[in-house]
A and B are shown apart, each in its own frame.
Chain A
Amino acid sequence: MSKPAIVTPDPWLRLQGLTRARVALGRAGVSLPTREVLRFGTAHAQARDAVHQALDVASLQADLQDAGFASLAVHSQAADRSMYLRRPDRGRSLTPESLALLARQGPRLWAARPRLAVVLADGLSSLAVARHGLPLLQALQPYFPELPTLPVVIASEARVALGDEIGQALGAEQVVVMIGERPGLSSPDSLGLYLTARPRPGLTDAQRNCISNVRPEGLNYPEAARKLAFLIAGALKLGRTGVDLKDDSDAALPDAARPAAGLAP
């Protein structure tokens, strides 16, 4: 004998095939059924963990090393996550120790006055950069064969603008900050890419170009790398990033689809 139905089902389940939104959930009385409360709670827990989990810098550095990228690890002036969340300004400046490290070790590891510096930043999801940072660099490499000679900096408790200080310290022409985005319930590990030409403190977002939602379920690695390579090449030509540099990579597909000439002058 089967139990009587407690939950009122919604006879429009087929709508679930048209959107990722939480439609046709059914109801217990007027409330969410237990199954959905647990599903939602799990998604929220994963998003929260993504925000609060510290980036495993040593592990990321080792993986980069194995793949042929020499990296340095720096920290912002936000001492911990609580300060990071309350004080965005602290997340935009390096500690004096980090600045000294870049000055001391940078010239030993990387080419001087690099065309491009890469910052792998935890942002609001360390999960994003831990999962997608290296694969994205590898997807970018066909466009820029000299990528392994360029600076890769791992930044903790970092906001996008921290890249300005890092880029300036390294004398880089452009900096790309690959940073964990604010996690959504269905996307705890979205990576955002921010490209800035002539990086220096005091720039605003209007002077950057952004590519967002980089992850296999969103904008995948090859597509993200292609768009980024397009912007880097465009910024080199234009001499600046920001609102004047348009992402016409889709319109320009035939040329941009294959690796461009790279960073060589």
Chain B
Amino acid sequence: MTYACTLGLRRHVFGDLKTLLAKASPARSGDMLAGVAAASEEERMAARIVLADLPLGRFLQEAVVPYEDDEVTRLIIDGHDAAAFAPVAGLTVGEFRDWLLSDAADAASLQALAPGLTPEMVAAVSKLMRNQDLILVAAKCRVVTRFRNTLGLPGRLAVRLQPNHPTDDPRGIAASMLDGLLYGVGDAVIGINPATDSLPAITTLLRLIDDFREQYEVPTQSCVLTHVTNTIRAIDKGAPVDLVFQSIGGTEAVNRSFGVSAALLDEANTAALALGRGSVGNNVMYFETGQGSALSANAHHGADQQTLEARAYGLARRYRPLLVNTVVGFIGPEYLYDGKQIIRAGLEDHFCGKLLGLPMGCDICYTNHAEADQDDMDTLLTLLGVAGINFIIGVPGADDIMLNYQSTSFHDALYVRKVLDRRRAPEFEDWLERMGIADFRGNLLPQGEQQALLALAATL
């Protein structure tokens, strides 16, 4: 099927749904690199005009990536809940945008709708939305998940403590971890990106965090962000695994390049669930994603990077994960060129994930070869705070010395809590108060010799 419209004297024709979506997407370097972006601003608007008139049901008839070739497409189509879709089944994409912005769409109706939406529908409507629309609708979504604490409650914001070290030195990691906890960070997860994939090293890190967590009764979860096959091996060896981490993308081919498949993720999910380590819930998966990964693996099927990113969420939701975050600015300027593109992508990813029912966080970040700086990150952090993001990342001083990029700092988290009145996960908040790290309002207290974590720091 072709799609077309006339603007003035010019007729714009789009050969298929995939092309229409790509041409309607806000400008970004990755789509230009892939050769799928609109050739002119007018063509982009023409695509949006056509897209706005498209019935949502069309996305159930025409696949962006062929059903026969791609297991992500099959999971999306086979898992579609027609009953949940019914309330919006008669709408066009443009009408769907209006409906999402209306009072008819509230936390309850959006939650009920999520299984009826496909990633492509959500990506499509995002392309018709301005940044404020993405924020407004996302702020209405509620996605609550639990393991050893409760994440995603209204008025709450959690932070992943990311105490990376270039050589996985346990003392170096412990130093960053203590610094973060003393800044009130770590309710989403204490999650380390290891420098090595060796199983003994990974087990050492898992025990390091777990022993600490048990000794101080910290109501949080830990994770070493290694390949899912390593985590399965760690579980087999009896290591204390709380969460299974994996990077995923929106096509079978990009996931193959990551060395994963739905079957492998199923296996890991089953293994982690069987451990039963969660105390208040059993959401055991943690996924990271990011626009551009499929193109960088030459696995994009000619689709735009934002639509493919939404498809990654279509895979993620199969596992009812505890945490999902886009690592938005990590991939580099050939995919997201500057602060403007990174900010837009961060808002799109959060919106799409939330609408699909995922507990979305964001690694608000950039690399030194992107046209971005701390001011851009402040802007995105503030916008995502307003949009009700479930969690962000916390790195000492925003400088990740292992992965060589800039994320958000412990101080950044305190800033967004202060200006937007966002509190920590309730169980973690209580722990901070018991430990004398923060007061009952969540404000940090000055620390002195009576602080137990300082005594621990003195022994490192």
Residues of A close to B406: CB separation below 8 A: 44, 185
Q: In this assembly, does A24 line the interface, its C-beta being within 8 Å of a C-beta of chain B?
A: yes
Chain B contacts of A14 at CB under 8 A?
457-458
Beta-carbon contacts under 8 Å, A85-116 to B: 85-89
Q: Is the CB of A86 within 8 A of B334?
A: yes
Contact between chains at B33 and A21 (CB < 8 Å): no
**Central interface residue in B171, B411, B446, by most chain A CB within 10 Å:** B411
A contact residues around B169 at 8 Å (CB)? 18-19
Residues of chain B within 8 A (CB-CB) of A185 are 368, 399, 401, 404, 406
Number of A-B contacts (CB under 8 A): 134
B274 at the interface (CB under 8 A from A): no
Q: Which of A5-13, A150-158, A229-237 contacts B (4 or more CB under 8 A)?
A: A5-13
CA distance A43 to B174 in the complex (A): 24
Within 8 Å of chain A (Cβ to Cβ): is B414?
yes
A25 at the interface (CB under 8 A from B): yes
Give the docked Cα–Cα distance between A50 and B409 (Å): 24
CB distance from B207 to the nearest CB of A (A): 19
Is B415 on the interface with A (CB-CB < 8 A)? Answer: yes
Please state if A30 and B368 are interface contacts (CB–CB under 8 Å): no
Shortest beta-carbon distance from A136 to chain B in Å? 20
- CB contact list, A176-192 vs B, under 8 A: 182-187
Distance, CA A25 to CA B179, complexed state (A): 9
- A198 interfacial contact with B, CB 8 Å: no
**Which residues from chain B contact A8 at a C-beta distance below 8 Å?**
446
B418 on the A face (CB < 8 A): yes
Chain B residues with CB under 8 Å of A24's CB are: 179
Q: Any chain B CB within 8 A of the CB of A47? A: yes
Of B176, B414, B418, which contacts A19 at CB under 8 A?
A: B176
Contact with B along A19-40 (1 / 0, CB 8 A): 1111111010111100010001
Whole-angstrom CA separation of A16 from B176 in the bound complex: 9
B454 within 8 A of A: yes
Q: Assess the B454–A44 pair: CB atoms within 8 A.
A: no
Asked whether A200 is an interface residue with its Cβ less than 8 Å from the other chain, the reply is: no
Q: For A40, list chain B residues within 8 Å (CB).
A: 374, 397-399
List B contacts of A21 (CB < 8 A): 163-165, 172, 175-176, 179, 395-397, 399, 401
Contact between A124 and B33 (Cβ–Cβ < 8 Å)? no
Closest A residue, CB atoms, query B454: A12
For window 148-180 of chain A, which residues contact chain B by CB distance below 8 Å? Answer: none
List B residues at the A interface (Cβ < 8 Å). 29, 32-33, 163-166, 169, 171-176, 178-179, 182, 332-334, 337, 367-369, 373-374, 395-399, 401, 404-406, 409, 411, 414-415, 417-418, 444, 446-448, 454, 457-458, 460
Residues of A within 8 A of B (CB): 8, 10-12, 14-16, 18-25, 27, 29-32, 36, 40-41, 43-44, 47-48, 50-51, 85-89, 124, 182-187
